[in-house]
């Protein structure tokens, strides 16, 4: 039997946690022969509900679950972790300014960054899901100076999956035919789902979907606004699809990317594509299973450049706001 991978999940009693934990425990994230030690982190008011979730994990009798540690102590929660999945955060409420949200969440992510640096395993990798995820990731990274910059990720995979599903539906093909969909920038309404480089059945998406007005307009806005559409229909925000995207993200980073394809995740910019260094930005990424890289040479036309500029501008403003608040 392999030794277990230790995985911390914050916000473990929340909506996403309720879908995610069972996928990790069943082997979807790390494979069918990889045991996992779960460290489940909640704030004090969430601990009773978390107790119920732990009972349910127990009741699944998962062969791969090595241990479960529920806790509201972040130092205990991040002890020895190889993967930290930072899902918990405080959602924006009516009347709350973006700056208020950054300030509230900033305090959470400064503390979590410090606790990860102090307690996690030396190979720790961190995926931030809680919104605003790019900037929360930036804050945590800047408060964990000993953890190298290439270990930090923020999630844009749900946007990529949404974009693939929209392109497949429009083209009338199965979603598995769609590849090379990059999300650029921020996980927010300014994100840019890049259809110009997407492929459908190996051909340029723009050759298969000969409706550039739809691609430039309705396609982008549908992907950007999908979260709001789900809230309207379901009465609460996307959770199972978000949890699925967490599983996809970790799998894509820990297994080789299929030849010629790429995936989307926000990483610390190295200046590629003229994006300002050291902000957490979504790029097309490839992995060999242990190391990842930003795919170079993806064509960026004038339309794409305009969209990328807008989303990077928003990220710079968020970075400046948290700098002003003394969080980084």
Name the residue nearer to ligand NAI (CB basis): 13 or 64.
13
Residue 187 makes contact with ligand NAI by CB under 6 A: yes
Under rule CB under 6 A, how many of the chain's residues touch ligand NAI? 28
Confirm or deny that 12 is annotated as ligand binding: yes
Residue 158 makes contact with ligand NAI by CB under 6 A: yes
Q: How far is the CB of 211 from ligand NAI (least distance, A)?
A: 27
Would residue 187 show up in a list of annotated catalytic residues for this protein?
A: yes
Name the residue nearer to ligand NAI (CB basis): 87 or 116.
87
Q: How far is the CB of 16 from ligand NAI (least distance, A)?
A: 3
Q: How far is the CB of 267 from ligand NAI (least distance, A)?
A: 14
Residue 69 makes contact with ligand NAI by CB under 6 A: no
Catalytic residue among 39, 125, 187, 319: 187
Confirm or deny that 300 is annotated as ligand binding: no
Q: How far is the CB of 212 from ligand NAI (least distance, A)?
A: 27
Q: How far is the CB of 51 from ligand NAI (least distance, A)?
A: 13
Q: Please report, as residue ranges, which positions from 116 to 155 form the binding site for ligand NAI (by CB under 6 A).
A: 129-131, 133, 155
Residue 88 makes contact with ligand NAI by CB under 6 A: yes
Q: How far is the CB of 3 from ligand NAI (least distance, A)?
A: 27
Helix/strand/coil (H/E/C) assignment for every residue in the chain: CCCCEEEEEECCCCHHHHHHHHHHHHCCCCCCCCCEEEEEECCHHHHHHHHHHHHHHHHHCCCCEEEEEEECCHHHHCCCCCEEEECCCCCCCCCCCHHHHHHHHHHHHHHHHHHHHHHCCCCCEEEECCCCHHHHHHHHHHCCCCCCHHHEEECCHHHHHHHHHHHHHHHCCCHHHEECCEEEECCCCCCEEECCCCEECCEEHHHHCCCHHHHHHHHHHHHHCHHHHHHHHHCCCCCHHHHHHHHHHHHHHHCECCCCCCEEEEEECCCHHHCCCCCEEEEEEEEECCCEEECCCCCCCHHHHHHHHHHHHHHHHHHHHHHHCCCC
Give me the 8-47 binding string for ligand NAI, x by CB under 6 A, dash otherwise: --xx-xxxxx-----------------------xxx--x-
Nearest to 77 by CA among 110, 108, 39: 39
| Buried b or exposed e, range 191-226, using 16+ CB within 10 angstroms | bbbbbbbbbbeeeebeebbeeeeebeeebbebbbeb
Name the residue nearer to ligand NAI (CB basis): 30 or 109.
109
Packing angle, helices 302-324 and 133-142, rounded to 10: 50
Binds ligand NAI by CB under 6 A, chosen from 108, 124, 265, 279: 108
Residue 201 makes contact with ligand NAI by CB under 6 A: no
Residues in the annotated binding site for NAD(+): 11-17, 105, 112, 129-131
- What is the set of active-site residues? 187
Name the residues that contact ligand NAI, by CB under 6 A: 10-11, 13-17, 41-43, 46, 87-91, 108, 129-131, 133, 155, 158, 187, 237-239, 242
Binding positions: 11-17, 92, 98, 105, 112, 129-131, 162
């Amino acid at each position: 039997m392999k030794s277990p991978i230790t995985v911390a999940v914050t916000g473990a009693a929340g909506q996403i946690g309720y879908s995610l934990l069972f996928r990790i425990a069943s082997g979807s994230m790390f494979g069918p022969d990889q045991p996992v030690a779960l460290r489940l982190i909640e704030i004090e008011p969430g601990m009773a509900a978390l107790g119920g979730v732990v009972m349910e994990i127990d009741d699944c009798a998962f062969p791969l679950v090595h241990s479960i540690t529920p806790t509201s102590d972040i130092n205990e929660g991040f002890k020895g972790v190889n993967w930290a999945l930072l899902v918990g955060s405080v959602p924006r409420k009516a009347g709350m300014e973006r700056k208020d949200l950054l300030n509230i969440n900033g305090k959470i992510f400064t503390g979590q960054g410090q606790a990860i640096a102090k307690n996690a395993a030396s190979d720790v990798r961190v995926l931030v899901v809680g919104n605003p995820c790019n900037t929360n990731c930036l804050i945590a990274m800047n408060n964990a100076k000993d953890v190298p910059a290439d270990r930090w990720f923020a999630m844009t995979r749900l946007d990529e999956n949404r974009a693939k599903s929209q392109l497949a539906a429009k083209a009338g093909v199965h979603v598995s035919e769609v590849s090379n969909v990059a999300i650029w920038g921020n996980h927010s309404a300014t994100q840019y789902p890049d259809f110009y480089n997407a492929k459908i059945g190996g051909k340029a998406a723009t050759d298969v979907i000969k409706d550039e007005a739809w691609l430039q307009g309705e396609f982008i806005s549908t992907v950007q606004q999908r979260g709001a559409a789900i809230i309207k229909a379901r009465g609460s925000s996307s959770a199972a699809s978000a949890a699925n995207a967490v599983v996809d993200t970790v799998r894509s980073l820990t297994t080789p990317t299929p030849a010629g394809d790429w995936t989307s995740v926000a990483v610390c910019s190295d200046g590629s594509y003229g994006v300002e260094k050291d902000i957490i930005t979504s790029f097309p990424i490839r992995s060999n299973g242990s190391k990842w890289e930003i795919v170079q040479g993806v064509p960026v036309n004038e339309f794409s450049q305009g969209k990328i500029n807008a989303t990077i501008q928003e990220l710079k403003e968020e970075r400046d706001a948290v700098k002003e608040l003394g969080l980084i």
